Amino acid sequence: MARVCNFSAGPSMLPLEVLKKAQEEMLDYEGCGQSVTEMSHRSKEFDKIIKDAEKLFREIMNVPDNYKVLFLQGGASAQFSAIPLNFMNKNNKADYIVTGVWAKKAWQEAQKYGAARKVASSEDKIFSYIPKLTKDDFDPEADYVYMCMNNTIYGTKYPYIPDTGDVPLIADVSSCFLSEPLDVTKFAMVYGGAQKNIAPAGLVVAIIREDMLGNAMPITPVMMDYKVQADADSLYNTPPCYTMYMCKLVLEWIKSMGGLEGIKANNEKKAKILYDFLDNSKMFKNTVNPEDRSLMNVTFVTGNDELDAKCVKEAKENGLINLKGHRSIGGLRASIYNAMPVEGVEKLVSFLADFEKKNS
């Protein structure tokens, strides 16, 4: 079958070039007579893969030398525990900004390990906006401030980086990782699951400032101790080697697209096409606070559940899949991550316009 346009919130599309390269090398990686799926993580071939991946990551994200780049397992949800276990280590308290279900889960998990305070929440309006916070809103005694930069389910993104003063800022960037340049120096840690913009599922990339490391609670599971992972260069135990190889291929693709500036331009173009359509549509509405709109996840509704469902169904019949909104808010959602081509969004808009005409 022809390749579909996959608007899944994650796992999601990978660049076709990357898939073709992976396919080509599946039985024999660079003439070494093995597949990367079979390769010892202590081999010189894999050592080059992981080092290249880290080097590309540092280059593309412009990661300063005093930050570690770690490749981890367990998804963002494992970090929800690891973050308080590693960093709630001075006053045993932290500030959480709750802008969606995932930030809320992180906040709830942190309560197992210390005083996790909800600084602000946008739950009053079904997480359709990002709270505006200033330095005075944060507890200067907090061990860190936690935020989720892009909220996949609701289609919001922080239009600013909160000023937390001297309190370390930690951000889950799972669904906007590598979608545009990010000033890493504003954060003590940024991390995200790979399954949106980086690689297939099963990998987390974390960028952590070195001075944060080394004071995990004694009850921290060894695999969740970031210092252990940093000291072992992400090879404390066998890592998800093949997923890291795919990550390397995606990073090479990003570089070939002009790095994060090139990627950003492409993402802005795609988002503009879709938001412009929605803003001019009489049937479909994006209900997010305009300045907090996500570049990656575009949510919209007709206001009629049956019509929403009909639209999702007919879109699928046209090769536009996974447009159903998250069950918690309903409606539709188009996730237009890095690998979604401009043509995919154009096809979607053309389909939606046609659907509107036929159903008005």
Instruction: Give the residue numbers marked as catalytic.
Output: 102, 172, 196
CB nearer to its own copies: give 75 or 214: 75
The contact mask relative to its own copies for 318-357 (x = CB under 8 A, - = no) is -x-xx-----------------------------------
C-alpha to C-alpha distances, 60 to 51, 56, 156, 165, 299, nearest whole angstrom: 14, 6, 24, 27, 29
To 5 degrees, how large is the angle CA 6–CA 183–CA 179? Answer: 10
Least Å distance, CB 173 to its own copies, is 16
CB nearer to its own copies: give 207 or 247: 247
Residue type for position 155: G
Q: Judged by CB under 8 A, which of 4, 60, 307, 353 binds its own copies?
A: 4
317 is a contact residue toward its own copies (CB under 8 A): no
Nearest Cα neighbor of 267 from 317, 199, 339, 332 is: 339
- Taking residue 327's Cβ as centre, other Cβ atoms within 10 Å add up to 7
Q: How far apart are CA 254 and CA 237, in angstroms?
A: 28
155 is a contact residue toward its own copies (CB under 8 A): no
Q: How far apart are CA 144 and CA 317, in angstroms?
A: 47
CB nearer to its own copies: give 188 or 247: 247
Nearest Cα neighbor of 226 from 207, 241, 244, 245 is: 207
Residue 324: DSSP 8-state: B
202 is a contact residue toward its own copies (CB under 8 A): yes
Task: Give strand pairing partners of 119.
Answer: none
The contact mask relative to its own copies for 28-47 (x = CB under 8 A, - = no) is x--xxxxx-xxxxx-x----
Stretch that binds its own copies, among 16-24, 128-136, 178-186, 341-349 (CB under 8 A): 16-24
Count of residues that bind its own copies according to CB under 8 A: 68
* Touching its own copies, residues 72-111 (CB under 8 A): 73-78, 80-82, 85, 109
CB nearer to its own copies: give 2 or 360: 2
11 is a contact residue toward its own copies (CB under 8 A): yes
Q: Judged by CB under 8 A, which of 87, 96, 113, 355 binds its own copies?
A: 113
Q: Is 317 helix (H, G, I), strand (E, B) or coil?
A: helix
CB nearer to its own copies: give 84 or 168: 84
* Touching its own copies, residues 267-296 (CB under 8 A): none
Task: Give strand pairing partners of 169.
Answer: 145
The β-bridge relationship of strands 156-157 and 150-151 is: antiparallel
To 5 degrees, how large is the angle CA 77–CA 83–CA 88? Answer: 145
Q: Is 70 helix (H, G, I), strand (E, B) or coil?
A: strand
Residues lying near its own copies in the complex (CB under 8 A) are found at 1-4, 6, 8-14, 16, 19-20, 22-23, 26-28, 31-35, 37-41, 43, 73-78, 80-82, 85, 109, 112-113, 193, 195, 200-203, 218-219, 221-224, 236-243, 246, 319, 321-322
